[in-house]
Structures are given as C-alpha cells and as structure tokens.
Amino acid sequence: MSKTKGICILGATGSIGVSTLDVVARHPALYKVVALTANTNTDALFEQCLEHHPEYAVVVDEKRVQAFREKIKASIVSDIKILSGAKALEQVATLPNVDSVMAAIVGAAGLLPSLAAAQAGKTVLLANKEALVMSGDIFMQAVTESGAQLLPIDSEHNAIFQCMPAAYKTGQHSPQARRILLTASGGPFRTTPLADLPAVTPAQAVAHPNWDMGKKISVDSATMMNKGLEMIEACLLFNMQPEQIQIVIHPQSVIHSMVDYVDGTVLAQMGNPDMRIPIAHALASPERFESGAEPLDIFKVARMDFEAPDFNRFPCLRLAYEAIHAGGIMPTVLNAANEIAVEAFLDGQIRYTDIAVVIERCMKAIPVRPADTLDVILEADQQARAVSKQLLAGLDS
C-alpha cells in the first residue's frame, strides 16, 4: 500500500460510517477522505467535515441542505463542495479520485449509489446488505463486468472471505469449500418465552446483547431477518447454494463465521465484536493494519456455545429461505416488506410479531417473476412497499 487512496463513505453518519472514519483516521498516509454523505443528520456531518475535510459532502435531504451550506461557508472548511439529493450519491461514488467506496447506507436507498460504484469499477466495501439482496445477480454481474473489487464488511461475510482460499475473489465458486457455517448471536430474544414476544417494545428489540448498531439492523437481528438477509448475501458473494449455508447460533459472537472444506478442515475467524475489525481488514486488503479494536481475551471468552436456529421462534428465517428458493423478484419483495414492517414497528404502529406476518402476506400477494433488469427490481421494490403499507392497516382484521 503505497499510494494514498481516495475514499467515499456513503452513510458516513451511521454506525458503520463512524467506525470507518475512526479506522481511516488512524492511517492518514493511506487514505484521503474524498466524500462523505448523510441523509438528515447534518450536525454529525458538519463535525465530520471539520475533522476529515473531504472535498465533497452530500446532504440527501434537500430541506436541510441550505442551512448546512451556510454553516460550512462560515467555517474553516468553507471550500468543501456541498451537493444534495439522491443523485448526488451516485456522483460522489463515481468521482475519478475515489478508489474505494464504503457502501454504508441502510436499506434499499443504498442500491443505486452502490451499484454505480460497482459499475465504475471501484473497490466496493459492502456493508449495505439490502442493496445486494434486492438486486442479486445484477449487482454481481456489474462487479464482474467492470472488474470492480467487492469486499464484504458484514462481519460474517468478511470472516468467510478471510477463511476462503488465498487469492479468492468474491463471486467465484470455490469447489474446495463445501459449506459455510454462518454464525448468529440469536439477538435479545433468543430465550424469551414465545408468549412474551408480541409485547416486546422497540427499545427492547434494539438493545442487542453484543453489537452496537443502527436501529434497523438491530431489529433485524432480533427477528433474525438479518441472518436471513445474510444467508442470501452469502449465496451471492460466495457463489453457493442455500443448502450449503448452515446458520449456527453462537451467543458469544466471538467466531464470526466458518468455512468447511472438502477435506474436513473448518476454518473460523475470531475477534471481539467490533466492526472496525472487518472494516480495517477490507481497507488494508490484501495487507493488514491496526483497527483500534481491543485484542481478543480468550480467557474472558472462556467458552463458546453453538445451537441450531428455531424457525418457529424466528419465522423471518423461514421466509428468507422461501424467498431465495422462489428466486426472481422474491428476495427484493422480502427485503422491501421487511423495511416497511420494521419501520412500522419502530414507529409503534405494529407489534414485534407482526413484522413476519406482514412480510409473509406480502410475499404471498406478489407473484414471482424473473428479476432480469434493474427496472424490474426497482418496480418490485416499489410494489412490495405499497402492498406492505396496505397490509399494515389490515393487520388485526
């Protein structure tokens, strides 16, 4: 790693964005921050601009950009170019002096800029699993066609990538790897009596036992839809069949996933639950550098447990398998319905257990069709959102 690389961080103000800036700031000779983006949190973005002095800052929310522009103009970083609107995300993700793009927007909103980065042949550091799940083969094809490098940031997929054979590239099929053991913490409700689940609150659902994350992924971890999305993500990134992916509940979150080889060798990647580890791995790849994470204290870990997931407790896992088996637009529908249902749960509109009900009804309401173009995917995403919103209203009837 000699030349300083330019990085664009999509979703800079979120949990992954903040961790990325923390790691990047430890290696100023290796990374220069070119662009930072936020949706609405202009206070956090302003502080990040003062500290990291990017060339560009994007505020997606057009209502907030004017005040932000004035604040930047009056500051010591008045030369930063300010853009706004969703299109600006694609613009900064494809700038000529951007080498790497951290895709850390949450949800489907991250698809177009992440795809634009892939089409432009950038090194794409993918945290935004929803973008990949909803667009599937189209995203992977864009990576192959442009020669982009796609590096997983999701801790499990980063772990799997680290356990794959040397020189392995995402998207390739590795005949030596016969199975992936995808670990999951089981979330905050792993042992809650099933009868208590309908009454769990958003505050309880976002209180993850091991990881500190954004609200949406925290709810997804509680329902285990996160693991369902990650199973689909793993099939795409590692070119495997759903049957080759075994989900393993491992409540200590020390092993971040494993690869089972044809000779019976199982390789695992371990570390503290700190997203700076996979972020630093991807940023330094193929070398290594410091992440700021604490070294793993194996004596404090003391023991590791493993159990099979209970599909009755976690119906979202079953729905994710149904979606990937149905194929076509169904993973897009699954993802969109989940986004709507989780938002409604966080807003106090529906119960925790209704999340899976909405997704299942939405998947039943929309017939499967091939997902062969981006337009078909975007249309299926919109259709599933509209259907899910209607379903929210009729839940108790």
Interface with ligand NAD by CB under 6 A: which residues? 11-17, 38-39, 41, 60, 104-106, 109, 127-130, 154, 211, 213-214, 217, 275
Residues 309-348 vs Mg ion: string with x where CB under 5 A?
----------------------------------------
Judged by beta carbon distances under 5 to 8 A according to partner kind, the member of Mg ion, ligand NAD, none in contact with residue 184 is none
Q: Which is nearer to Mg ion, 15 or 123 (CB)?
A: 15
Contact 20, 36 (CB under 8 A): no
- How many residues sit in the footprint of Mg ion (CB under 5 A)? 3
Residues 6+ apart with CB under 8 A from 339: 107, 108, 130, 216, 385
Name the residue number minimizing CB distance to Mg ion: 154
Q: Which is nearer to ligand NAD, 14 or 251 (CB)?
A: 14
Distance (Å, whole) CA 185 – CA 221: 8
Element holding 266 (H helix, E strand): strand 266-270
Nearest distance, CB of residue 182 and ligand NAD, angstroms: 13
Reported as half-sphere exposure (CB side, CA atoms, 13 A), residue 149 has a value of 16
Q: Give residue 294's identity as a one-letter amino acid code.
A: E
Q: Which is nearer to Mg ion, 213 or 337 (CB)?
A: 213
Contact 4, 98 (CB under 8 A): no
Place of tokens 């393993």: 248
Judged by beta carbon distances under 5 to 8 A according to partner kind, the member of ligand NAD, Mg ion, none in contact with residue 109 is ligand NAD
Near Mg ion by CB under 5 A: residue from 55, 130, 154, 220: 154
Judged by beta carbon distances under 5 to 8 A according to partner kind, the member of Mg ion, ligand NAD, none in contact with residue 11 is ligand NAD
Q: Which is nearer to ligand NAD, 40 or 390 (CB)?
A: 40
Q: Which is nearer to Mg ion, 321 or 376 (CB)?
A: 321
Nearest distance, CB of residue 64 and ligand NAD, angstroms: 11
Nearest distance, CB of residue 386 and ligand NAD, angstroms: 17
Beta strands in 193-244 (DSSP E): none
Nearest distance, CB of residue 162 and ligand NAD, angstroms: 15
Distance (Å, whole) CA 381 – CA 60: 20
Contact 123, 99 (CB under 8 A): yes
Name the residue number minimizing CB distance to ligand NAD: 14
Alpha-carbon separation of residue 181 from 53, 97, 164, 248, 259 (angstroms): 41, 38, 12, 6, 6
Q: Which is nearer to ligand NAD, 105 or 232 (CB)?
A: 105
Q: Which is nearer to Mg ion, 100 or 155 (CB)?
A: 155
Judged by beta carbon distances under 5 to 8 A according to partner kind, the member of Mg ion, ligand NAD, none in contact with residue 217 is ligand NAD
Nearest distance, CB of residue 113 and ligand NAD, angstroms: 8
Nearest distance, CB of residue 335 and ligand NAD, angstroms: 10
Handedness of CA 78, 80, 81, 83 (dihedral sign): negative
Contact 238, 258 (CB under 8 A): no
Distance (Å, whole) CA 291 – CA 22: 8
**DSSP count for the chain of H helices, then E strands:** 16, 11
Q: Which residues bind Mg ion (CB under 5 A)?
A: 154-156
